[in-house]
Amino acid sequence: MKYSVREPSAGLSSDLLIIPVSKSQNRSGKFIPDWLSARSNALVRKTVALERFGADFAEPLLITNPEESVKRILLIGCGKEKELTRPLAEKIIHTIQSVQEKINGKKAHLPVSDSGLFGIADIWLLAELDSIGRYRFHGYKSKSDKLKNKFSEWIFLCENQASSSVKNEINAAVSRTGALAFARDLANTPGNLMTPAGFVREVRKQFRNKKPVKLTVRDGRYMQGQSMGALLAVAAGSKQPPFLLEMQYRSKRKKAKTLMLVGKGITFDSGGISIKPAAKMEDMKFDMAGGAAVAGVMKAVADLQPDVNVTGIIPLAENMLGGSAVKPGDVVTACNGKTIEIINTDAEGRLVLADALAWGVKKFKPDYVIDLATLTGSIVSALADKAAGLFCNDDELKKILLSCGEESYERLWPMPLWDDYNKQLESTVADLKNLGGRWGGSVTAAKFLEPFVDGKPWAHIDIAGTAYDVQDRPLLGKGATGFGVKLLLKFLDKIPPVK
């Protein structure tokens, strides 16, 4: 898809001209561009008057205008809104795309003006959302569904020639959605193909020509040498070998903060010996959505090259049953020497994260640590699919991440990290156990991880409810959402510089 910015002109040739109409604009008629021909102007005014259009977010009105160079005009009622919020923008873009799927055309034009609902500062958002909405995972049907939307170019019409900064913002938005699509593809791929080795293979393909990011793949033998007993225990029941994927980007700036991202990479989670119920177990292919998001972020980092050092770490394993599988009651030792009693083998995500966090903190000494994981059903019970749970040991980091969540519309909700919960993790035979009991499960999972970050400013983001099949977000469709990619890329822009 191509996105460009131009000045409007008389005699414009367009397959689809999109015009938003709000309640106040309906009264004034200001929503009609000055450069539109008199005939088209009259047709639009008459249609809006008859339909009393724009008072509410309404079904779109498509006006066919065959004698004009503007073949069709799409009117979208935007109600009482006076500014473009992200939720409203999602609804508008979804509406536009639904119309585009029913008509033939290649070029769509959208007037933007700082006096209207769509301002110049919103161009990047509209391009980003259009790109997100065009994503399709075609899967493995013998006859794959083709994308019905044939439009291949969006042209934003501005009275004043847009500056290069606007074009840069569009390019950055498209880069973000490319990274998002990569993360969604990884998570949507079924578990028999997206094994730990399959994940590594797909990442290598994406980064083949991305020199700013260095990939290092470490196998089970390396993990044994590093005493990563927690990660290896999770992988023990599967024939698929585990891997530790390291992705390093170093800024050209001499003094730069270092961010370490860790993503849970359980490519399929059967629950192990503590086997999950059969219903919806197929969704456990999404249990590597945190790792997929980290891989997506690193893809965008390679393109955008921020002034921050970024290291992505993805512990990859399959949690299966087998004669060698870890058992409830077993005790394993993590790479920082802490011993863990396995109470439930379905609480495996925190085990692979524990080793990855402890190993990464020791090796890279980051300024900030953020992990993403589809970790607990408890966070879904608390927040549904409307927000991810944020557990953070640093007030400044928490404040920035909450702000980034609102701006990216990958929203976070702060959860406690009080020491009162530590007692639930006490074990009689080891330093701690991997399950804290029935109550407060998302909090005790985060408290389990806390000893493995060595006091570094750290945030744990539980994305179990937001990683796939979210409701009331038709632009995202079914399947993986790529939650965390936009959030973390926004965070990279806000990391405080080195003083």
Name 134's Cβ contacts closer than 8 Å, sequence gap at least 6.
Answer: 1, 97, 147, 149
* Tally of CB atoms within 10 A around 137: 15
With beta carbons less than 8 A apart as the criterion, state whether 263 and 371 touch: yes
For the chain, what is the total number of helices (H) and then of strands (E)?
Answer: 14, 18
Catalytic residue among 285, 350, 411, 433, which?
350
The residue among 440, 460, 201 whose CA lies nearest residue 349 is 460
Task: Please name the residue that has the structure tokens 């994981």.
Answer: 373
DSSP run (H or E) holding 388: strand 388-392
With beta carbons less than 8 A apart as the criterion, state whether 260 and 361 touch: yes
The residue among 426, 235, 251 whose CA lies nearest residue 319 is 235
Specify whether 411 is catalytic.
no
The C-alpha atoms of residue 289 and residue 277 are separated, in whole angstroms, by 20
Specify whether 276 is catalytic.
yes
Helix residue ranges per DSSP H, 365-430: 377-383, 395-408
Task: Please name the residue that has the structure tokens 């009393």.
Answer: 52
With beta carbons less than 8 A apart as the criterion, state whether 234 and 326 touch: yes
User: Mapping DSSP to helix (H, G, I), strand (E, B) and coil, where does residue 219 land?
Assistant: coil
The C-alpha atoms of residue 413 and residue 463 are separated, in whole angstroms, by 11
| Strand pairing class (61-64; 72-77) | antiparallel
Which tokens is 362 given? 């020791």
Catalytic residue among 134, 167, 210, 276, which?
276
The residue among 348, 377, 375 whose CA lies nearest residue 460 is 375
With beta carbons less than 8 A apart as the criterion, state whether 358 and 336 touch: yes
With beta carbons less than 8 A apart as the criterion, state whether 262 and 298 touch: no
DSSP run (H or E) holding 414: strand 412-414
The C-alpha atoms of residue 442 and residue 448 are separated, in whole angstroms, by 10
Active centre residues (catalytic): 276, 350
